[in-house]
Chains A and B, each alone.
Chain A
Amino acid sequence: MQHGKYRFIVGFLALPLGLYALFVVWPFIQSIYYSFTDWTGLSPEFKMVGFDNYRRMFHDEIFWKSLEHSLLFALVLPLVTISLALFFSFMINVGGRRRKGGPAISGVRGSSFYKIVYFFPQVLSIAIVALLFAFAYNPDSGAINSFLRGIGLDSVQPLWLGDPSLALWCVMAVLVWSTVGFFVVLFSAGMASIPADLYEAALLDGANRISTFFRITLPLLWDTVQSGWVYMGILALGAESFAVVQIMTTGPGGPDYSTTVMVLYVYQKAFRDGQAAYATTIGVALLVVTLLFAAIVMRLGRRERLEY
């Protein structure tokens, strides 16, 4: 039996690994290769230029700005989204007041309704969400400023996306709004699998909601939170942040480069400026940032797995 074991395993893995190599590994290698050329993306001719693109990148102010914004996205977005999602799902599943005749552990009143409502934004495509918010942020006739006028705050009429100090936060708010529901559902599922007797024991010991959350829910949910964190970080570095910045912001890229992110910069260099090679160079930098992010989160989040 030992004899044919590897052949057997390889037989099963060949196809998926082949597909993985073709569609995942190979584009990475291709990008790295192109980053050493002067390929424009518009003609088949190019030549090797060594490290020129990398040298250029390190002196490119806009690259550093986009890197800074991307890192801010990767730090702030998961923190805010996951904290909010944890709070919401805790309230939905565990945080309710004890009701007469009900189970010992339950969510707040109407929690099943909230669960559905939180998930709504997830159903909408990110492009539609971005467009909707672009309308809402319209300083002249948008929903937010109209509301402010409606409650008598005529003097407070921010420019939102038109203001370099607000624009990035406006974009982040949209991403939080559109992704928090997914994590609420994810964490709810995780919480549902935590045995109720643990909570009951905590209740008998007189634990309040806050200590129940930090001593029971969070430790038992740690694995889910960690993968959620990585997922959210990659989302914030990648496609989602590109979509909202490209669709919503001034330029796009924000007034005075205030919302430009690495993915947007890659896109602009490749498809606006005809500098595909330089774009792949920035893409390589983005790859490094993403890998570092995942590695750090995994490293920091390493804990003993609790069996229950």
Chain B
Amino acid sequence: MGSTHTESNGTDDRDMTGVGRRDLIKRSAALGLISVPTMSFLSACASSGGGDNGSKAKAGKKTAKNPLGVNETAGMEFVLFDGGFGKEYAQDAVKIYEKNFPKVKVKFSATQKIQSTLQPRFNQGTPPDLIDNSGAEQMDMGVLVGKNQLADLTPLLDAPSYDDPNKKVRDTLRPGIVEMGQFDGNPVWIMYYAYTVYGVWYSQKALDSLDAEYPKTWDEMLAVCEKAKKKGMAGWTYAGKYPYYIPFSLYPMIGKVGGREVLDAIDNLEPNAWKHPAVKACFDAYYELYKKGYILQGTPGLDHIQSQTAWAKGKALFIPNGSWVENESANVIPSDFNLAVSAPTGIDSSDKMPFGTIWASGGEPFIVPAKAKNPEGGMEQLRIMLSEASSKNFTTKVKSLTAYNGGTTGISLTPGLTSGVAALKLAGQNVLNPRLQDWYVQLQKEQIGVAGLGEMMAGRATPAETIKKIQGFADAAAKDTSIKHYKHQ
């Protein structure tokens, strides 16, 4: 892109690789009056950051207290997504950073507009040192990784943990966190801070009133739904306008029925991955919910909030969701609701994995940009956040678990959180981690979610048709050269 630099943006003597200035002016003149500003702005917009590596902060000395070798005077900039978890937990962690490095002033900001604030800064080559890349305006991780915009977090993972110098940070994390940060090969690009439990959410009180236990096989599930129906309660509802919530219970069910490999094959976009009999069995099972009228009337027209509200009011028994639902719907969930989560119901005893197999994974992806001025500072901030004290602080304040394995003793947990911890304990090593939603966003949300599952659960397509359609989408994504492809390690 060196051909479009002119004097007007001040980068003339930096990377004049292509056409010289004089040639450019000649050409510009030929192109006419309008294109003069055009060309100079082009370079100002998209390529002025080219070789901007000279301004990095010098690394400090590595000591026991400062294992990452953070420069003790360099500034650090931290941009947080100001979403459901608020910003207090991060501000508390920033205070610790400033206490540990008294000469440093951390530039902290919180915003919901991650992409609109930060995309231009990536394009200029001047991103902040630590970003919580989350929310509706999340920047595409695949593209960031593919374009070498992120720093490898391996030094952080191999550094001693904040609480115990004899234990690496890597060994204090919950299962799946490190793998989730990898895209292709060993480097770890993302540190997921929150830990989300996905599954089937329900009111223990409502279930008790039906005289029922949480069903472990699909026949039991249908029986419970029938009981609920007799009492004028629908069995299920889901975020009909965003049907990509259905996979929160459907994917781990597929994993439980057919084994971990089935989900891996799906993530790897292998040919015919969706044609596995386990997928068909689970799709059939969910379709039966529709056929038997166990889905709340009108569900396909509800958004996530509306469906959660209907469910909290007791109009439906079960909803596929993640652990954020407790915080998000806190104002409509009655105090005696007794919120609980369960691993998905399987088909029967011939399933490959035991009951309790659950989908749990990281949320709130933190990244350190490759072109950050003080990447060690960004990582040190993360190391502080992954300490037991900071983790407890987070859990107390926002009712969610963190990537730190532990940090739940000695604090009082809400019903949903308690049940989430119990579900993780039941699962043990049987934690699944489907990756479609962070690897192939369009495929997961728009194609599998809205066009596939959404149509099936609204009764407008049969499971066989849906599988054929989804396999078509997956094959197209596998062939699409404009997106980067990933594989499970």
Query: Does chain B have a CB within 8 A of A33?
Result: yes
- Give which listed residue, A21, A46, A159, A249, contacts B300 with CB less than 8 A: A159
Q: Are A251 and B446 in contact (CB under 8 A)?
A: yes
- Give which listed residue, B41, B146, B442, B445, contacts A30 with CB less than 8 A: B41
Q: Are A42 and B451 in contact (CB under 8 A)?
A: no
Query: Does chain A have a CB within 8 A of B298?
Result: yes
Which B residues are in CB contact (< 8 Å) with A112?
none
Query: Does chain A have a CB within 8 A of B362?
Result: no
Which B residues are in CB contact (< 8 Å) with A161?
241, 301
Per-position binary interface string of chain A over residues 246-284, scored 1 when its CB falls under 8 Å from any chain B CB and 0 otherwise: 000111011111000000000010011111001000000
**Which parts of A37-77 form the interface with B (CB within 8 Å)?**
38-47, 56
* One of B134-142, B222-230, B285-293, B408-416 contacting the partner: B134-142
Most chain B CB within a 10 A radius of its CB, from A44, A134, A272:
A44
Query: Does chain B have a CB within 8 A of A22?
Result: yes
Q: How far is the CA of A256 from the CA of B140 in the complex (A)?
A: 23
Most chain A CB within a 10 A radius of its CB, from B1, B115, B298:
B298
Q: Are B302 and A138 in contact (CB under 8 A)?
A: yes
Query: Does chain A have a CB within 8 A of B154?
Result: no
Q: Are B137 and A29 in contact (CB under 8 A)?
A: no
B36 CB, nearest partner CB in chain A, Å? 10
Q: How far is the CA of A33 from the CA of B455 in the complex (A)?
A: 39
Q: How far is the CA of A163 from the CA of B298 in the complex (A)?
A: 10
Q: How far is the CA of A29 from the CA of B149 in the complex (A)?
A: 27
* Contact status of A140 and B301, CB under 8 A, knowing A250-B454, A255-B450, A273-B140: yes
Query: Does chain B have a CB within 8 A of A121?
Result: no
* Contact status of A272 and B442, CB under 8 A, knowing A163-B300, A251-B241, A255-B458: yes
Q: Are A21 and B241 in contact (CB under 8 A)?
A: no
**How many A residues touch B, CB cutoff 8 Å?**
49
Which of the four size classes fits the interface of chain B?
A: 35 or more
Query: Does chain B have a CB within 8 A of A145?
Result: yes
Which A residues are in CB contact (< 8 Å) with B482?
38, 56, 275, 278
A287 CB, nearest partner CB in chain B, Å? 16
Q: Are A160 and B242 in contact (CB under 8 A)?
A: no
Query: Does chain B have a CB within 8 A of A26?
Result: yes
Q: How far is the CA of A256 from the CA of B460 in the complex (A)?
A: 10
Q: Are A21 and B46 in contact (CB under 8 A)?
A: no
Most chain B CB within a 10 A radius of its CB, from A39, A160, A163, A255:
A255
Query: Does chain B have a CB within 8 A of A228?
Result: no
Q: Are B441 and A44 in contact (CB under 8 A)?
A: no
Query: Does chain B have a CB within 8 A of A157?
Result: yes
Q: How far is the CA of A303 from the CA of B296 in the complex (A)?
A: 57
- Give which listed residue, B37, B123, B140, B455, contacts A44 with CB less than 8 A: B123
Q: Are B50 and A157 in contact (CB under 8 A)?
A: no
Q: How far is the CA of A22 from the CA of B301 in the complex (A)?
A: 44
Q: Are B442 and A43 in contact (CB under 8 A)?
A: no
Q: Are A44 and B48 in contact (CB under 8 A)?
A: yes
Query: Does chain B have a CB within 8 A of A118?
Result: no
Which B residues are in CB contact (< 8 Å) with A160?
301
Query: Does chain A have a CB within 8 A of B349?
Result: no
Residue of chain B at shortest CB distance from A48:
B1
Residue of chain A at shortest CB distance from B137:
A271
Q: Are A25 and B46 in contact (CB under 8 A)?
A: no
Query: Does chain B have a CB within 8 A of A107?
Result: no
Q: Are B147 and A26 in contact (CB under 8 A)?
A: no
> Considering the complex of A and B, which 9 residue pairs feature the smallest CB-CB distances, nearest first?
A139-B298, A162-B301, A274-B143, A162-B300, A274-B140, A43-B147, A139-B301, A140-B298, A250-B241
Offer 12 A-B interface pairs, CB within 8 angstroms, sorted by A.
A21-B33, A40-B147, A43-B123, A44-B48, A44-B122, A44-B124, A139-B298, A140-B299, A274-B139, A274-B140, A274-B143, A278-B482
